[in-house]
Amino acid sequence: MTLIDTHAAVGADRLVVRYRKRTALAGIDLDLGPGVHGLLGPNGAGKSTLMRVLATVTSPTEGSVQVAGVNPASPGRARDARRRLGYLPQAFGFYPRFTVREFVEYFAWLKEVPGPQIPLAVQRAIDRVDLGARADEQLRRLSGGMVRRVGIAQAIVNDPDVLLLDEPTAGLDPEQRLDFRALVRELGVDACVLVSTHLVEDVAVACHDVVLLQDGRLVFTGTPDELVARADTDAPGDTDVERGYTSVLRAARRSPR
Amino acid sequence: MTHALTPDDGWHVSPQLRRAWITGTCADEQAWSVEAHLSECAICRQDVARHLASAVADIAGNSGPRSVRELVDDVHLRLVDLPEQVPLRPASVTRRWRALLGLRQVGLTWAVVLVALLAGATILDLLAGSRLLGGAPPTAASGAAAWFAGGGSWVAAVAPILPVLGVALAYGPGLDPAHEMTAATPVAGLRLVLWRTAGVLLTTVPAALVLELVVAANRQIGSSTPHPTRWLLPALGLTLVVLALGSRVGTAMATAGVASLWVLGVVAPLGTEAAPLLLTDVPPAFWALLAGGAGLVLVLRRDRLDALHSPPHHGGLA
């Protein structure tokens, strides 16, 4: 079991990502194991960039990352990492004329799930996101929330050790978000799940710990309770977690780099 | 009906839990919930049965104690004794190809790509064809350097790579809506581009052949006949050879090897008296046979294509 646990992890070592002149990530050190980790931060803080680097879609400008126990800098290692990876990007592009089953099956194949296991793996993934009844409908006939769930299904079809979900709750109604939290908690039992979201409440309920980014820097890591404890009494926010969130961001803005 | 197969909460036994249950290493409460679930869920029962078989094959091997094997066979049989209950469609090769090429998605784009490739090959052929075969072929005595200098086409030397470049562009980040997700999968990169190229060429070559036959049947005396297949067949043959070799030695290695051989075949004659054999005298039938042979290898090795360098944890317990 220990062998498997080492795979259910992501890490970053002095990670810097620059797009031309703009610095998206300015030196991130991160070490996350199995469990559900919430990635919070204002727009433009670098959440999606961090997701993309961990998903091996973007390369670090400086520093390195570890994904599922390997450094994906070389093509061979990247392939090893990608086999154990599930990724739902923020801009989830899909093929409207594919059926749910075809789409998930296509990604099972791209992820090198062995041929004989594909039908069961696809059925399992579709069941887990509760789309069994719509499995043979085209994606264009599904609602936005259902399409998101198809995106989650393709991410989990290879039983990933590392699951990266970028704004997965966008477009889900409140009830679906409850189902989603339950699914994520279950996945987090044996995988390293990193969920980026702008909904602070999601993180408080569904995540074991919180990673907070601002301006490409890590300004907080800890449990949701620890985030609550950081709340100033005068901080804006409707809940304790939100007040903790805004307090940490204000403190980070004030402190010199 | 789905609800007859699986409990409706959508929960299934995870691979890690399954592994722990099979080896008897999970906690009692977990084991109970797994067993309760298995009694309801045909999918997980099959899943467990499949992994049980491979786990025992790993542990016992073929020479394992007979009593253990018999016991496991018995358990296994009872677990998988559900032949028609799970109406799972097997992953068909046709659906895989259609998905790979985005056929359902880009019906029109697809037609445009096909026509563009066909037109490109035909135009190339008409421009260079007269010099290659139709007009005044360079004599052997003039040598390879003179053959190139005298209009022997450099385009022919790079022709096999052109469809690959076209496909890389057509399925790039700008045009493929799922590109971001695809880029995070192990197939992404050179291999995916080559598979798509093979798919594109496999449909273009027959179209080119039809075009040639139609033109040949209607051609007037004195006019030249285009031979688009002469450009497309080597590309198809080499692409399939790279994929077939790649299933054994890795795609990067296979590409480097085949590309080196091609360059050698084109460049080596420069010092000699002969025109480059690869570009002039190799009959289309050779490329067709090469493509057919490589295609056969790919069909025979189809199971290994997915499993190449697979980490052990896909296979079961190991």
- Chains A–B, number of C-beta pairs less than 8 Å apart: 154
Q: How confident is the model at residue A32 (pLDDT cuts 50, 70, 90)?
A: very high
Residues 6+ apart with CB under 8 A from B67: none
Residue of A nearest to B186 (CA): A79
CA dihedral sign, ordered B23, B24, B27, B28? positive
Backbone angles phi, psi at A249, to 5 degrees: -65, -45
**Interchain pair A105, B188: CB under 8 A:** no
> Contact at 8 Å (CB) between A40 and A203?
yes
The model's pLDDT over B178-210, given as tens digits with 9 standing for 90+, comes to 888 989 999 888 888 888 888 888 888 888 888
- Please count the residues of chain B: 318
The pLDDT score that the predictor gives to residue A172 is 79
Name the A residues in 81-110 with CB < 8 Å from any B CB: 82-85, 87-89, 91-98, 101-103, 105-110
Whether the complex's predicted ipTM surpasses the cut of 0.95:
no
CB contact set of B110 (below 8 Å; sequence gap of 6+) = B101, B102, B103
Q: HSE (CB half, 13 Å, CA atoms) of B269?
A: 22
Give the model confidence (pLDDT) of B218-270 as tens digits: 766 555 667 777 778 888 999 999 999 988 888 888 999 999 988 887 777 66
Contact at CB, A88 and B16, closer than 8 angstroms: no
Residue of B nearest to A190 (CA): B16
Q: Are A64 and A73 in contact (CB under 8 A)?
A: yes
* Structural Rg of chain A based on CA atoms: 18
- From the list B110, A180, A97, the residue with the least C-alpha distance to A106 is A97
Model pTM?
0.74
Q: How confident is the model at residue A161 (pLDDT cuts 50, 70, 90)?
A: very high
Q: How far is CA B150 from the centre of its chain?
A: 39
For residues B250 and B265, what is the distance between their CA atoms, to the nearest angstrom? 23
The angle at the Cα of A88, spanning A58 to A81, to the nearest 5 degrees, equals 55
pLDDT digits (tens, 9 = 90+) for A113-159: 887 788 889 998 998 888 989 999 999 999 888 898 999 999 999 99
